[in-house]
Chains A and B, each alone.
Chain A
Amino acid sequence: MEEDGIILNEKQRRAQRSRSLALGIALAAFVVVVYVATWAKIGANILQRPM
């Protein structure tokens, strides 16, 4: 059965995979940076806020 929609050639598919991978890594790195930096900035003080 023929595939619907846009059919990427090999070069386009490789390029898309490269961009997807980079974007995935960048987003994951962003999450890690924000998490670690928040932890470094606030640290144990997060438990000492007035309730």
Chain B
Amino acid sequence: MAIAIAAAVPSMGTASEDQVTANGPQTAARKTGSTMSVAEDAVLPGHRPSEALASDYFALLKPRVMSLVVFTALVGLMLAPGHISPVIAFVAILAIAVGAGASGALNQWYDADIDAVMTRTRRRPIPSGLVAGEDALAFGLILSVFSVMILGLLVNWVAGALLAFTIFFYAVIYTMWLKRSTPQNIVIGGAAGAFPPVIGWAAVTGSVSLESVVLFLIIFLWTPPHFWSLALFKSDDYAAAGVPMMPNVAGAASTKRQILAYSLLVAPLGVLPAFLGTGGLAYLVISAGLGIGFVYHAFRVFRMAEDDRSMKPAKAMFRFSLIYLAGLFATLLTENIVARLAAAWSA
């Protein structure tokens, strides 16, 4: 098996034309050779053997996004009523993580031109020339199919279908369509990032219910203020890449108003799990406190002067938004684990 893998791998990575350097005598030798092996065939004119490490392919999966997806999916899975075998639960989380990573690879394949322009993304594997676009596409597609099939076959098909829809939504609806065409891109596209807890929940129950929809809505409504606070202080980057983010299209003032509006929506919604039974008293207190903090930061962004170049309130809002979401889900998870331990202790 190892030999077969090694033979297959050279063709996995072929560099794009603009970063190819002459391969000199090796290429010349190949051209004049009387026989063609598979390995030779893999190196076409204008290409050279890849220098991409496994870690470059791993970077295509957007590991940091993947870790957030794993976390929120795990919370959905743990909160869901009913029993799931720990092995099946592990498979579900793994499949969701790989599916999320696959959509990240498809996103990087399609967005390589944008990524090459933006300082935040220009060192990604495709714009840096380490991985060829078509390899990233194949990588993303294969992982998409595998993750959905595994989730469907080994967990259940409601979860599998939701994962398939999430990958499609992120790669096609968001990346290929919305991102370049409307400043509402991340509002609608935010749905892709909001699905993991619903998938985790469905992995246990085989259904979608109000509790999981509320978890979905929290992430969905959190996404615009989170991304727009980033877009406020990175607007030049997005403008250079031609991505119609809200500050570039509607202006900073309108963006600040909308950040405040979404924050006023998400703060009370964030408390709702406490009234649906998915969160307890600790969650009620913490989510209310975090919600007040979220609105406070949004208000500071709203009051930020037009000529404020340092944009400290926007940067603070961006950082706090991460704490807010992580705080809500971590509290839900902690409460759930404590309740399980207490139940096991008293049994």
Is A5 interfacial (CB 8 A cutoff)?
yes
Find out whether the CB atom of B57 lies under 8 angstroms from the CB atom of A19: yes
Q: Which residues of B contact A21 (CB under 8 A)?
A: 54
Q: Is A49 an interface residue (CB 8 A)?
A: no
Q: Is there an interface contact between B5 and A20, defined as CB atoms closer than 8 Å?
A: yes
Of B5, B10, B42, the residue contacting A27 (CB under 8 A) is B5
A22 touches B54 (CB 8 A): yes
Residue of A nearest to B37 (CB): A5
B124 to chain A, nearest CB (A): 17
**Digit string of A20-51 for contact with B (CB within 8 Å is 1, else 0)?**
11111001001001101110110000000000
Residues of A near B42 (CB, < 8 A) are 6
Chain B: residues with Cβ within 8 Å of the partner, total of 36
Q: How many angstroms from the CA of A11 to the CA of B50 in the assembled complex?
A: 9
Residue of A6, A8, A41 with most partner-chain B CB within 10 A: A6
Instruction: Report A-chain residues with C-beta under 8 Å of the C-beta of B29.
Output: 4
The B interface is mostly helix, strand or loop, or mixed, namely: helix
Closest beta carbon of chain A to B96's beta carbon, Å: 14
How many angstroms between the C-alpha atoms of A27 and B9 in the bound complex? 13
| Contact (Cβ within 8 A) A37 B154 | yes
Q: Which of B86-94, B159-167, B265-273, B317-325 contacts A (4 or more CB under 8 A)?
A: B86-94
Q: Is the CB of B50 within 8 A of A41?
A: no
CB of B210 within 8 Å of the partner chain: no
Given A20-B5, A40-B88, A41-B88: A6 in contact with B49 (beta carbons within 8 A) = yes
B contact residues around A18 at 8 Å (CB): 53-55
Q: Are B33 and A19 in contact (CB under 8 A)?
A: no
Residues of chain A having any CB pair with chain B under 8 Å: 4-8, 11-12, 14-16, 18-24, 27, 30, 33-34, 36-38, 40-41
CB<8 Å pairs between A and B, sample of 23: A5-B33, A5-B37, A6-B39, A6-B43, A11-B51, A12-B50, A12-B51, A14-B53, A16-B49, A18-B53, A18-B54, A19-B9, A19-B12, A19-B13, A20-B5, A23-B8, A23-B54, A33-B91, A33-B94, A33-B150, A37-B88, A37-B154, A40-B88
